[in-house]
Structures are given as C-alpha cells and as structure tokens.
Amino acid sequence: MKHLSFFLCLWALALTSFAQIPNCNAPTPLNEQFRVMIQNLNKSQIPTGILYESVYPWAEVESYDGSNDTDTSNYEHFMQAYSELYYSKFNNN
C-alpha cells in the first residue's frame, strides 16, 4: 500500500510539472485565420465593402428573411448581427 501511495503521489507531481510548460503553439484567433485565407482575394469586386464570410456567422443573418417565423429579433441577436457586419467590413474607420 505504501508503494501505491508513493507512485500515485509521484504521478500527480509529474502531471503538475507538465502543466507548467507554456503552450507556444497556441491557436490563432478565428478572425485572423479568416483574414489569412482571404488576403489574396480581389476586393474590388465587392461593391459593399462587406465580406460576410470573413466572420463566423453566429447570428445567421442570411437566414433572417422577415417571414412570420423570423419577423422579429431580440436585442442580443441584433447586437451579434451588428458586430458581425461591423467586423466583416474591410475598412472599419
């Protein structure tokens, strides 16, 4: 029983020592990944200056069509849609 306790403590100590190693390969934010993917896109063909594919579509703006099922929106949905449209602009000045 002493050996089992000793090995469990040793194993726990080893796990905590590995927890202190920094992760240098941290994932990049999603918007930076999208920008890298579309950096060579000819943006002169987009007259609105908004490329909705450059953000993750949480609000699903394209499915909002004003029908009886989707005739109203709540505050959180509106703010999410506004944020997505704002960050999908090429120039946010």
pLDDT tens, residue by residue, 22-68:
666 767 777 777 778 888 888 888 888 888 877 888 888 777 776 77
pLDDT bin (cut points 50, 70, 90) of residue 88 is confident
pLDDT tens-digit map of 63-85: 777 677 766 678 888 888 888 88
- pLDDT on residue 24: 65
User: What is the structure's pLDDT at 67?
Assistant: 72
**CA separation for the pair 91, 55 (Å, rounded):** 14
Distance CA 49, CA 41 (A): 12
Report the chain's terminal Cα–Cα distance, integer Å. 68
Cut 0.85: pTM above it:
no
DSSP 44: G
d(CA 5, CA 80): 52
